[in-house]
Amino acid sequence: MSKVYSSQQALEMILNDANPCDSDGEEISLQLSSDSEISSDEEDSPPSEKRGRLETHERLTETAKDGTVWREEQVGRPLHHSPIEGHVTDGEPTALARRKVRSRLQSFFCFITLEMLRTIQEWTVQHALQTQHENWFMAIPELMAFIAILLLWGIVRLPSLHDAWSAKLGPPLINRIMARNRFKDIIQHLRFDDKDTRGERVATDRFAAISDVWGSFVANRITSYNPGRHITIDEQLFPTKTRCCFLQYIATKPDKFGIKFCVACDLKSKYVCKIIPYLGKDPSRPPGERLSENVVMKLMEPFMDKGRIVTIDNFFTSLSLARRLHSRKSTLLGTVNKIRLELPDSAKKNLAREEFSTQVFSTSGATLTVYVPK
């Protein structure tokens, strides 16, 4: 193979009477540069085109107020960190659910099992007997019929309980399932735990009145369905004015009072994958960790490390959350508030940009894409 020397190296060889035989059998080719005034330092430096790109790269580096260093990237250019392989399948029932479900009733038992029904039956009957209702009893099939009416009531969305049994407004099916007075009797005594021991459990669990049944219900939802690639997380206010220590008032909601839940849903099927009630200050949350970040990590824990994309709004979005999700092979997609200290200043100034323009910034473990809508 021919070895090519620069003009400076060739000149040094000639002046030093270099012997071509010292080349270990290689053919030596001396090629002098047409520009004899180029120094060795200039010869060893990168080409001018590369040097210009590096200078441009340095010019586009920007430091946010919290010290995060961002680098503007050309749209379409591969990023420096390793890409995450996306989750390829759509949401589908798990193998366990496919083996168990052969009818609508069996699909119901995937979420509300017989053990859960027996627990509700036991504490409901106990409460009815303690309130001086002698010989009061409720069988499991009757409890299932009661739950069926609640589900149907939620679908029809009638404003009041009396309207559900109305000959004009209510669906005729409800009258055939259960009488209105019996339904009101059950709902009056409905309980999900032992009321005698609730006071001790409330000290460590504010959701103690329903915690055991609720935990089983959420666990059954997780084991019954595998969500697809896209999971959305948001808050939902369940309207109620029941007196409890974690009742919320949100003026922007149609129903101002209620219990707030954080929900993770499969985007395509609208399946509720996991749901967490907001019960006030959580003592288990690590000091310094944002509440929004803690909620997202809890909701996504069963679905991590599979290349899923989490879509959230600006209440949850943060750079630290994006990095934590990236470390678990998950991607964050969401809007972000301009007041975040980790954002570069140029990403906040989008008034002068054209519609549908895109600007990309990257930092370690995260990518920020600024899109200007119409």
Q: Is the dihedral of CA 119, 204, 290, 237 positive or negative?
A: positive
Q: Rounded to whole angstroms, how far apart are CA atoms 308 and 133? A: 53
Say whether pLDDT at 4 is over 70: no
Q: What is the pLDDT of residues 331-365, one digit of tens each?
A: 999 998 888 888 888 888 766 677 778 888 888 87
For the chain, percent of residues with pLDDT exceeding 90: 48
- Count how many Cα atoms sit within 13 Å of the Cα of residue 332 in the half-sphere of its side chain: 28
> Average pLDDT of the chain?
83
- Return the pLDDT at 244: 85
Residue with tokens 């009396």, as numbered in its chain: 162
| Angle at 133 (CA atoms; ends 127, 139), nearest 5 degrees | 65
Mean pLDDT, residues 152-165: 82
Q: Rounded to whole angstroms, how far apart are CA atoms 158 and 278? A: 27
Better pLDDT: 20 or 226: 226
Q: What is the pLDDT of residues 54-97, one digit of tens each?
A: 334 444 788 888 888 888 888 777 766 677 888 888 999 999 99
For the entire predicted model, the pTM comes to: 0.77
